[in-house]
């Protein structure tokens, strides 16, 4: 089945996967894509998302556990491509208390500056 047929209506990230909405794509494989965040919070801010529509971390175990491996193995490949040799931060917001705005599972890969702990 093509990515297009799996689109969830009105899901912005499904539309970026299918190409209906343009994304600045920096990485693609069979399971995930990585593209530049429209409102970057660091000099490098990439969103890595599964091609399949999963809503949040809550969906991973019940719908597609293998997506975790796909997302996380993409991280160092993209980090190398972006020359983030000094390190980077990975964030996944899950649910409203975490501030998740887009209900399609995504991992934020942030780099190019120093990060603080604890996060806000």
Please list the active-site residues. Answer: 106
Does 14 sit near Zn ion (CB under 5 A)?
Answer: yes
Evaluate whether 74 touches 34 at the Cβ level (below 8 Å): yes
Minimum CB distance to ligand 5GP smaller for 39 or for 85:
39
- 46 — alpha (psi -120 to 50), left (phi > 0) or beta? beta
Does 91 sit near Zn ion (CB under 5 A)?
Answer: no
Does 100 sit near ligand 5GP (CB under 6 A)?
Answer: yes
CA 103 to chain CA mean position, Å? 11
Given 26, 34, 35, 51, the residue binding ligand 5GP (CB under 6 A) = 35
Stretches 8-16, 34-42, 61-69, 83-91: which one binds Zn ion (CB under 5 A)? 8-16
Given 1, 39, 62, 117, the residue binding ligand 5GP (CB under 6 A) = 39
Does 38 sit near ligand 5GP (CB under 6 A)?
Answer: yes
Q: φ, ψ for residue 75 (rounded to 5)?
A: -55, -55
Task: Tell me which of ligand 5GP, Zn ion, none is bound by residue 35, counting a contact when its beta carbon lies within the kind-specific cut-off of 5 to 8 angstroms.
Answer: ligand 5GP
Task: Report whether the peptide linkage leading into residue 118 is cis, meaning its omega lies within 30 degrees of zero.
Answer: yes
Q: How buried is residue 32: exposed, middle or buried, by Cβ count under 10 Å (0-12/13-18/19+)? A: buried
d(Cα 70, Cα 49) in Å, to the nearest integer? 9
Please report, as ranges, the residues that interact with ligand 5GP according to CB under 6 A.
12, 23, 35-39, 47, 93, 99-102
């Amino acid at each position: 089945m093509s990515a297009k047929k799996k689109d969830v209506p009105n899901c912005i990230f499904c539309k970026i996967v299918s190409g209906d909405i343009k994304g600045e794509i920096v990485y693609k494989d069979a399971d995930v894509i990585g593209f530049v965040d429209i409102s970057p919070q660091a000099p490098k801010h990439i969103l890595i998302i599964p091609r399949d529509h999963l809503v949040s971390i809550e969906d991973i175990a019940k719908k597609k556990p293998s997506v975790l491996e796909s997302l996380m193995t993409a991280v160092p490949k993209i980090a190398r491509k972006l020359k983030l040799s000094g390190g980077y931060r990975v964030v996944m917001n899950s649910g409203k208390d975490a501030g998740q705005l887009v209900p399609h599972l995504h991992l934020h890969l942030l780099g190019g500056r120093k990060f603080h702990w604890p996060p806000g």
